[in-house]
Amino acid sequence: MIIVEMNAVKREELGKQANNKIRKDGLVPAVVYGRNKKNINISIDGKELKKVLSGTEARENTIISIAIEGTDEKRQVLLKEAHLDTLTSAPLHFDFYEITDGEKLKLVCPLNFIGKPEGVKNGGVIQTLSNQVSIECVPEKIPNNITVDISDLEIGDTLFVENLPVEDGVTILSNPKSTTISILAPRIMTEEATNEDGEEGAESEEGADESDASKEESDK
């Protein structure tokens, strides 16, 4: 479980005009909400926000501890939505979900593939179709990632979601039959197989032509 800390101040003035004003001061408006909890409107220093989120890659499974200035309050939250400017990608507004101990959360967890597959050592190619899955768990069970050793995968092998290792207390919600990674045959091998099939087909056609010609001669 990853926990990072961030500071914030409460916002008293709301609305478009007030938000534009704090953005000019280098702050980003945000809201903290949660189940059966009162919304808290806050503003966060843009540079600190960028530093925190770039350091954690803004992952949905990262717990952020927000300390609200002037109070003893610390809110444990998850980043739920980041509203960015469509042209400049500048942050406009952030939504944070406050978590509660024992509450089951649905979130996205990255996959961490380790090891070099045997199939790759023999010339195969890795095809990654998914590097994350949806999971459900309580806050204290949130994994940093799901680490998967793919060293034993041979050419033609596929790793499905149902094959992923998970710790007790974590449930994977993604389709168990979905593919995460496959080891494909090298392209040159595939092309050679195709060429061989084509040559066999041509030989069959030639044999058929010769047979037809022989039949015509005997009929005469």
Same domain, 80 and 27: yes
- How crowded is the C-beta side of 29, counted as CA atoms within 13 Å? 18
Q: What is the CATH number of the domain that holds 159?
A: 2.170.120.20
Please give the mean pLDDT across all residues of the chain. 83
Question: Looking at the structure, do residues 56 and 141 belong to the same domain, yes or no?
Answer: no
Residues 28/94, Cβ–Cβ less than 8 Å: yes
CA distance 12 to 27: 14
In which domain, by residue range, is 32 found? 2-98
Which is more confident, 94 or 215? 94
Helix (H, G, I), strand (E, B) or coil at 48: helix
Instruction: Please calculate the CA angle 59-65-66 and round it to the nearest 5 degrees.
Output: 110
State the pLDDT at residue 98.
92
Q: What does the pLDDT look like over 36-95, one tens digit per residue?
A: 888 889 998 888 877 777 655 456 778 888 898 877 778 899 988 888 888 887 888 899
The dihedral through the CA atoms of 55, 59, 64, 68 has a sign that is positive
Threshold 0.85, pTM exceeds: no
Tell me the percentage of the chain whose pLDDT exceeds 90.
42
Domain identity same for 126 and 168: yes
Provide the pLDDT for residue 200: 57
Clarify whether residues 116 and 37 are in a common domain.
Answer: no
- Strand, coil or helix: what is 148? strand
Mean pLDDT of 165-191: 88
Same domain flag for 7 and 39? yes
99-138 pLDDT, tens digit each: 988 899 999 999 999 999 999 999 999 999 999 999 999 9
